[in-house]
Amino acid sequence: MIKKVVKFGGSSLASARQFKKAANIVLSEKSRRYVVPSAPGKRNDSDEKVTDLLYQCYDLAAEGGAYKKVLNRIKERFAEIIDGLELNMNLAYEFDRIEENFLNKAGRDYAASRGEYLNGMIMAQFLGYEFIDAADVVFFQENGVFDSERTNVELGERLANVERAVIPGFYGSMPDGRVKTFSRGGSDVTGSIVARAIHADMYENWTDVSGFLVADPRIVPDPQVIETITYSELRELAYMGASVLHEDAIFPVRREGIPINIRNTNRPKDKGTLIVESTCRKARYTITGIAGKKGFCSVNIEKAMMNAEVGFCRKVLSVFEKYGISIEHMPSGIDTMTVFVHQSDFEEFEQSVIAGIHRAVEPDLVEMESDLALIAVVGRGMKAVRGTAGRIFSALAHAHVNVKMIDQGSSERNIIIGVKDADFEAAIRAIYDIFVTMEL
């Protein structure tokens, strides 16, 4: 039988109505055998996520504050879901344990995990699936690093004889039994871990959008959905801020060649985006996606005969390393070298870094420019199409956007463009229009 792991995000399980949608999706295909739920998310823009309420409640309880009001709000959220699903289920015992552990300072990770834990119990009851506590099958090492191999073996053995199960996302356990969480959004990671352990045919990640979009909808009105994207392309876009899936969710399934399908709980007939290792499917457009970030600055270093000086780059980069500043991009010429860094990380140390560069390499000139944005244009189709960079420059020129930097990766899968922060949105719209609107 085909095996699918289905993970539902917080917005997909925020209410009884959303729960029913998720359950209908699971039960509509027999292949959807393993379910990974998140904690209840926001029901509307003014609502709060249950995980945030749990953090608030724990902090108050641990500090001896008045936590009961927040705890009651959490209880009401789950009671509303249970009542709406017409389940014969009572979580009073679970909440007594949670309250006791909060007062005994069980830790913020424990507190944050209870939303997934309780939602998992409700989902298992509603579907008639077996409930498996993630703390019993997902493990972290003593130093807090996820223990992928132990988890893969023990989770695989635990699920080998379980036809259908619900495993809460986001958390596991330390060697001493304490609950440990992944970073926020970590339910995506749990879904990927489960998919690897059972050798799934597909990992479906259900959320509130119909897949990855070619560009940010806050910048480009109604952008097209990316039908198929490779893991490598996804990594490039995610690095530049495009976020629908937790970044670490890629690695477990990539090792097994398991595709990920991003789907919309509210529009289940939409095909969504398929994320794969590789594909012979021709990309719909020359580019796959556009993403970017503001808030960078550049440090431009000039020195005659720089290229003949062995170790020049290393000496410059060691100065940034000394102050804990990570490098984003580093385009260079014969006598010039430019380092792009996050402005917020750099401002505190800028004068120390400049002085350090002067001592390290004795440059002829050091200049800085602030308020820059970096835009990644990503696509496996670019490799086979001539003139991609030329089309980008042409589009930006027509939009009156001045290009500060261009850097193309050796894979020919991505081109990074630097522009002023003020030109960021106009640049993305111009690139989208030339590669998507005109190719429709």
| Alpha carbons 114 and 120: distance in angstroms, whole number | 10
Residue 273 lies in a domain: no
Average pLDDT of span 228-237? 87
Residue 98 lies in a domain: yes
- Say if residue 180 is in the same domain as residue 321: no
388 or 71, greater pLDDT: 71
- Say if residue 133 is in the same domain as residue 20: yes
Averaged confidence pLDDT in the chain: 93
Percent of the chain with pLDDT over 70: 99
Least confident window among 11-15, 243-247, 400-404: 243-247
Average pLDDT of span 369-392? 88
Tracing tokens 């130093």 back to the chain, one arrives at 143
Q: What is the CATH number of the domain that holds 202?
A: 3.40.1160.10
Tracing tokens 């807090």 back to the chain, one arrives at 144
Average pLDDT of span 183-189? 85
- Say if residue 333 is in the same domain as residue 433: yes
Domain around 432: 289-439
Phi and psi at 388, nearest 5°, equal -60, -50
| Alpha carbons 114 and 1: distance in angstroms, whole number | 33
Residue 293 lies in a domain: yes
Tell me: pLDDT of 440 over 70: no
- Say if residue 204 is in the same domain as residue 311: no
Residue 138 lies in a domain: yes
Q: How many domains would you assign to the chain?
A: 2
Tell me: pLDDT of 181 over 80: yes
Identify the pLDDT of residue 156. 96
- Say if residue 19 is in the same domain as residue 159: yes
Tell me: pLDDT of 243 over 80: no
Average pLDDT of span 151-164? 95
Domain end (from 177, 208, 239):
208
- Say if residue 48 is in the same domain as residue 195: yes
| Alpha carbons 252 and 84: distance in angstroms, whole number | 36
Tell me: pLDDT of 63 over 90: yes
Q: Is beta strand 228-230 parallel, antiparallel or unpaired with respect to 260-264?
A: unpaired
Tell me: pLDDT of 410 over 70: no
Identify the pLDDT of residue 239. 79
Identify the pLDDT of residue 207. 92
Residue 35 lies in a domain: yes
Q: Phi-psi category of 279—alpha, beta or left, where left has phi over 0 and alpha has psi -120 to 50?
A: beta
Tell me: pLDDT of 392 over 70: yes
- Say if residue 176 is in the same domain as residue 293: no
Domain end (from 181, 208, 235):
208
Two tokens at 413? 């899968």
Residue 272 lies in a domain: no
Identify the pLDDT of residue 389. 85
Residue 409 lies in a domain: yes
SS (H, E, C) the chain: CCCEEEEECHHHHCCHHHHHHHHHHHHCCCCEEEEEECCCCCCCCCCCCHHHHHHHHHHHHHCCCCCHHHHHHHHHHHHHHHHHHCCCCCCHHHHHHHHHHHHCCCCHHHHHHHHHHHHHHHHHHHHCCEECCHHHCCEECCCCCECHHHHHHHHHHHHCCCCCEECCCCEEECCCCCEEECCCCCHHHHHHHHHHHCCCCEEEEEECCCCCECCCCCCCCCCCECCEEEHHHHHHHHHCCCCCCCHHHHHHHHHHCCCEEEEECCCCCCCCEEEECCCCCCCCCCCCEEEEEEEEEEEEEECCCHHHCCCHHHHHHHHHHHCCCCCCECCECCCEEEEEEEHHHHHHHHHHHHHHHHHHHCCCEEEEEEEEEEEEEECHHHHHCCCHHHHHHHHHHHCCCCCCEEEECCCCCEEEEEEEHHHHHHHHHHHHHHHCHHHC
| Alpha carbons 313 and 306: distance in angstroms, whole number | 9
Identify the pLDDT of residue 280. 80
Determine contact, residues 416/329, Cβ cutoff 8 Å.
Answer: yes
Tell me: pLDDT of 411 over 70: no
Sheet order of strands, 32-37 included:
130-131, 165-166, 32-37, 4-8, 202-207, 260-264, 273-276, 228-230
- Say if residue 203 is in the same domain as residue 293: no
Determine contact, residues 214/284, Cβ cutoff 8 Å.
Answer: no
Contacts of 394 (CB under 8 A, 6+ apart): 434
Q: What is the CATH number of the domain that holds 422?
A: 3.30.2130.10
Instruction: Label residue 64 by pLDDT band (50, 70, 90).
Output: very high
- The 10s digit of each residue's pLDDT in 256-291 is 899 999 999 999 999 999 999 888 877 788 889 999
Residue 204 lies in a domain: yes
Amino acid at 183: S
Average pLDDT of span 151-157? 96
Least confident window among 8-17, 46-55, 119-128, 402-411: 402-411
Domain end (from 155, 179, 208):
208
Average pLDDT of span 391-399? 92
